[in-house]
Structure 1
Amino acid sequence: MERQLPKNVRQIGNVSDTPKVYVEDYVDTYLNQLKEKAKDQPAGIILAGEMLDLGDEKAVFVSGAVQLKELQIKGTTLEITEEVLTAAREEVKEFFPECEVVGWGIVEDGSPLSRNREVKRIQEKEFASEMSLFLWKNAREPEEIFYAYKFGELMQMGGHYIYYEKNPQMQNYMINNRRANGVTPSEVVEDRAAKDFRSAVKEKMENRSQQGRRPGIAYITSALLVLVVFAAGITTVNNFGKMKAMQTSVENLSKTVENGQKKGTTETATVDKTQENEKSASEAVKKSEATKTSDKAEAQLSDQDYYVVQKGETLAGISKKLYGDTTHVKAICKMNGLSDGNLIYIGQKLLLP
């Protein structure tokens, strides 16, 4: 489907320049996380996304960011080895297969004026496509600065947009690189398809109970599927590839429930349908167990990664208690999928930055 300009955006600065720069919210969150680390050690990034010609307007969408493993800086000398660049480009292909490299950037404590010559040299050598971006983020400033490579020069953009949409690829990258980069993943992602499906099944079961109907095969099938989806949905957390596979399975199982409700014309057909659904559920459980074993090996989360909420505590208080200030509240919310930071409860386990 052809890319459309996002409707849900937040404007940063003057956006009258060309190309228009759109940065997805999870990328912006990741850059702010790198900012904390970059106060001590500069960080380099590769930007992934799309360069588009939208009729009368040219635009660059940044939907992914991959950190360079090493950025060599000595005084004003800036160097990125071919090995480091190649590794970063491979990560772009792995985590953002539908995107292209649209630029690069530096996050550090300092001024971009001291690096003009070095930045331009790298831009012309490695990122010379028309409209490709260079991002500069001062570790002590709230907003970043974008430059676009036009007519053989890097020209500063007056501003850009932050846009909001589902971005499981960036979530997956942040989660997989959590410990290696020393930054916080955006959130622990529950399989939304599984969650929605469980809610739909629960609603149907409650309606049938209120109407005084006999549960029958649809009730049994729904109960089995709720169990399967709950087990498999939890184990697919933090793995985008498995999330997509799980979503497909949920859709197929949902169709099975609907067909079971519509048919059921004879006792024999009902029994056959029950056996078929039980077999599918059994196979799904087996797959979920295999996935669970794999995820345990990948995640390796310990008790140190969590904080248990105590009586009278707030997220602001927890952030100050653990990190010395309240700036981590947003990161804790995103990490645990909290839309309202006030809705925490005693005994709740929060996955920490």
Structure 2
Amino acid sequence: MIEIVYEKEKQKPEGNEGYFRIPNNIRQIGEITGTQKIYIEDYAYTYLCRIATENSHKGMAAILMGQSNWKDGNSYLFIKSAVALEEMEVSEEHLAFTQEIWNHVYEKNKEYFPEQEVVGWFLSIPGCSMELHEIICQTHLNHFGGNDKILLVREPLEKEEAFYRYEDGKMSRQTGFYVYYEKNEPMRSFLISQNAKQEKKTEEVDDSAVHTFRKKVEMKSETEEKYKFPVFKTVGVCAMAAALAVGVLYANDYKKEKSSKTAVASIKEKEEEPVKVTPVNGTPDENTKSEETEEVKEEIPKEEVQNSQPANVSAQNSYIIQQGDTLTKISIKNYGNAKRVKEICELNQIQENDLIYPGQTILLP
């Protein structure tokens, strides 16, 4: 296809040319041959290209409006406006111009283009062949009969396009057309109205989405408020239980540690403060005996005081081990010789080499 841009001076009226004029600013697309010359205004052409691109995934149709004139055996067709048929289902095998669709066209024609008439239609189908399908041809004959009506077909993906008219018993492809530029107030007003409706529709969709989102947020907030106190209460109870458990463990550990320290301190005190035991064959001084006895009473339990008495007393059969004692020393101290070590071991179920420590009580034979 070729494109030529040029200006043509307005010609003087000849014949019925007084009812139309040739546009000054035009752009030629393709080669112009034959007796029909097609002019499409830029507003309308741009609008058709846009709706085809925006709906490149599906079929789209529109009605073409303008005027047609004759001069010297040539047909002049001016496409000034276009109205998209957004509610129409479009495919090569299915095209239905229902009464509702025509009512829509007549309403737009009356509102925006009262001085124009239907001059043809527009068809955009993805993958559409430029060799027209039989259903497309039949639809054109049924609704756009006559050789003064045209069809503009555009393939939206490859952007291939062509005009067709019915002549010699078939749909004939036109080799070229003109795009012209002029002040087109009717189409401009229609486009502004369409844009305003589109923006309003978008705003309504946005408002609806915002409303739905806010409603969900409010429902979520209500749900959170409903369950907030029980959740916090449960968390608080769990935290208290955990703190109590930790406290009990620390208390137990503290008690055990304190008990251990007390036991160790007791053992150390017993080691550092020796308890004197009266020898078997000796008689302690009365004053010394009295002082020692008082110390034993203050530091050693009653049972231990009794056990610390000399082994030769018949009522006593136990002995508290002192600092530096061994089984041999204990035998010598209580029996005068080391011969009783074996008996002491057997009575206490220990071995001669076993460890004994101060404060430990053993039985004496």
TM normalised by structure 1 equals 0.49
Q: Structure with the greater relative contact order (CA < 8 A, sep ≥ 6): 1 or 2?
A: 1
Bigger radius of gyration, 1 or 2? 2
